[in-house]
Amino acid sequence: MEINGYSYPTVVLDLYAHGKKIQCNIVGDLAQVVDQRVLPMYQRPPVILLQYFKCKFDKVVLQNVVHVSRISINPDIKETVDFLNNYDIGQHYFPRLQPTNIGSLISQIDDPSFDWKLLRTVMNLKSTTEDGVFFLVGKIMEVVDDPEWWYFSCVCGHPIIGDDNVFRCQTCSKDVEHFTVNYRVKVLIEDGTSISLFVLLDAAVTKLIGKTCSEAFLVPDTKTQFSYCSPLFKNLLGQEKIFKVNQVPTRIPIHVDAIKELLDDVISVKVLSTASRNINISFFLGSVVSIDRAQRWYFLPCLCGTPISHVAGIYYCPSCGIECVNALPSYRLKIIVSHLNGNNIFILDDPEVSQIVNMECSDLLKEKPNEPMHDFIVPDLLPLKIIGREFVFIVDPRPIGYESNISVHFVRAITDDPSIIKFSRMLQTSIKRSLFH
């Protein structure tokens, strides 16, 4: 902008509040605060706090006063949280700011565009490996009763996790004192072709039930079918809508479009650490039918994880090339699992066995000191705790060998969470139906 023969840097903003928009001109050095290289990093358009701005009544435009006005981007204050918790804001979906051909940044609020070419069925979404945004016409049949139906968020929109009551936002690169709570509700949607799990995010749930997430916490508990979720979620059941679905390929061999979202919450550390090593994983719902009692069921690991060798009375690690002392015994157990596709031998490592039997390997070895444990005979407690139980196994699909013509696989994680077991059963029923139609 040129004023009295001098050129000043200028940024023009379209501000949105209470269902209305207003233009705001920022002239001079203050325009540098609105860094267009930083704004697209935020998950949604930032909250702007203006102080000491003037209003040009001839055009109904806000404009700063040089050396007087102030501007803050996503200020960490209570008023920001109150603004975001307002239903007029919470019901709208504000996508991330995107650059245009002319160098501007734009966010299309509640993008109303609808492309019939992108209309998909649940069966289509299950069978495709294509990522992108699609549309689905379906009915909400069930709400997954999951205690993780909400999460903390920085005012910039990025999820945050507290550590010893300290919350840090990775996007803002700072500790935050004020944050919001947002919905992340898992639902089963059916459209006549199949049924599958989807995750409804904050704006969608707010619009469907008419309450923001912070307001949902204030609703008193009533007798509903939910043990963990808000009683308001009963209003989601039976709603038939056009859903806008953002599908991301998981590269998981089984036909599941959103099960990873569920597992991220229940056993996130195991699954994400596996994914970070670029290991493909498969999901199996199965029951443990047998355990070979004649196997070496534990070993002594080095700190690096390699089994320790015992030669000439010395324990040493072949990987590190050093002598090892005071190693703690760890489980390693082969089990036979029956699932939809047949039987396989799965190898459970120490964390998985400890999780199932609720006992560390060292404690089991000390349980009966007068009855020596045999390295190659599985103690009675393990089959009693494991055989006959049903789990969802997260397995490396690459076989490490074959025994009795059955492939052997490593288990990366395991869960007996009732909500995952229930969903997996429904998924198996859907797969069986598709085989006969």
DSSP 99-118: E-TTS-EE--TT-----GGG
Look at the block and give the residue holding tokens 């910039």.
156
273 and 236 within one domain = no
429 and 356 within one domain = yes
Amino acid, single-letter form, for residue 46: P
Q: How confident is the model at residue 434 (pLDDT cuts 50, 70, 90)?
A: very low
* Verdict on whether the full-model pTM lies above 0.75: no
235 and 207 within one domain = yes
Q: How confident is the model at residue 353 (pLDDT cuts 50, 70, 90)?
A: very high
135 and 13 within one domain = no
Closest CA to 330 of 379, 297, 357: 297
Q: Which of residues 433 and 118 earns the better pLDDT score?
A: 118
Predicted pLDDT at 158? 87
What are φ and ψ of residue 401, in 5° steps?
165, -175
pLDDT digits (tens, 9 = 90+) for 191-222: 988 888 888 999 999 999 999 999 988 887 77
Coil, strand or helix at 367? helix
pLDDT digits (tens, 9 = 90+) for 88-104: 888 888 888 888 888 89
Q: Which of residues 406 and 253 earns the better pLDDT score?
A: 406
If one counts the domains in the chain, the total is 3
Closest CA to 36 of 109, 96, 104, 101: 104
Name which of 100-104, 240-244, 325-329 the model is least confident about: 325-329
Predicted pLDDT at 51? 93
Q: Which of 73, 88, 106 is the last residue of a domain?
A: 73
pLDDT tops 80 at residue 309: no
pLDDT digits (tens, 9 = 90+) for 354-407: 888 988 888 888 876 655 566 778 888 899 999 999 998 888 877 887 787 788
Predicted pLDDT at 252? 35
Are 329 and 300 spatial neighbours (Cβ–Cβ below 8 Å)? yes
Closest CA to 202 of 181, 186, 183: 183
278 and 245 within one domain = no
pLDDT tops 60 at residue 433: no
Report the C-alpha gap between 106 and 142 in whole angstroms.
36
Cα radius of gyration (the chain): 28
342 and 399 within one domain = yes
397 and 431 within one domain = yes
User: How far separated are the first and last CA of the chain, in Å rounded?
Assistant: 67
pLDDT tops 50 at residue 347: yes
Torsion sign, CA atoms 254, 257, 263, 264: positive
Q: Which of 22, 55, 73 is the last residue of a domain?
A: 73
Tell which phi-psi region holds residue 3, choosing left (phi > 0), alpha (psi between -120 and 50) or beta: beta
Closest CA to 137 of 159, 160, 118, 112: 118
Inside any domain, residue 18: yes
pLDDT tops 60 at residue 253: no
pLDDT tops 80 at residue 133: yes
338 and 194 within one domain = no
Predicted pLDDT at 205? 93
Inside any domain, residue 324: no
Average pLDDT in the 290-301 region? 87
Torsion sign, CA atoms 154, 205, 133, 258: positive
Inside any domain, residue 69: yes
Inside any domain, residue 320: no
What are φ and ψ of residue 358, in 5° steps?
60, 40
Average pLDDT in the 406-435 region? 74
Predicted pLDDT at 313? 64
Report the C-alpha gap between 28 and 24 in whole angstroms.
13
Q: Which 8-state DSSP code applies to residue 159?
A: B
Inside any domain, residue 223: yes
Predicted pLDDT at 279? 47
Q: Which of 73, 101, 127 is the last residue of a domain?
A: 73
Look at the block and give the residue holding tokens 């060292």.
362
231 and 347 within one domain = no
Coil, strand or helix at 357? helix
Q: How confident is the model at residue 337 (pLDDT cuts 50, 70, 90)?
A: very high
Are 236 and 143 spatial neighbours (Cβ–Cβ below 8 Å)? yes
Predicted pLDDT at 386? 93
Report the C-alpha gap between 2 and 10 in whole angstroms.
9
What the block records as the tokens of 340 is 């939809």
Coil, strand or helix at 185? strand
188 and 140 within one domain = yes
Inside any domain, residue 104: no
Mean pLDDT of the chain: 80
Q: How confident is the model at residue 155 (pLDDT cuts 50, 70, 90)?
A: very high
Tell which phi-psi region holds residue 409, choosing left (phi > 0), alpha (psi between -120 and 50) or beta: beta
* Complete edge-to-edge strand list for the sheet that includes strand 309-311: 309-311, 314-317, 322-323
Q: How confident is the model at residue 437 (pLDDT cuts 50, 70, 90)?
A: very low
pLDDT tops 90 at residue 183: yes
Inside any domain, residue 213: yes
Report the C-alpha gap between 426 and 144 in whole angstroms.
13
- In what helix (H) or strand (E) does residue 11 lie, and over which residues does it extend? strand 10-17
163 and 53 within one domain = no
pLDDT digits (tens, 9 = 90+) for 105-121: 998 887 777 778 888 89
Q: In whole angstroms, how far apart are CA 43 and each of 90, 124, 314, 362? A: 14, 28, 56, 46
Inside any domain, residue 106: no
Q: Which of residues 98 and 263 earns the better pLDDT score?
A: 98
Domain that holds residue 190: 116-249
175 and 61 within one domain = no
- In what helix (H) or strand (E) does residue 125 lie, and over which residues does it extend? helix 122-127
What the block records as the tokens of 81 is 């949280």
Question: Looking at residue 375, which CATH number applies to its domain?
Answer: 2.40.50.140
DSSP E strands: which ranges in 266-355?
Answer: 282-290, 298-299, 309-311, 314-317, 322-323, 330-339, 342-349
Neighbours of 67 (CB within 10 A): 8
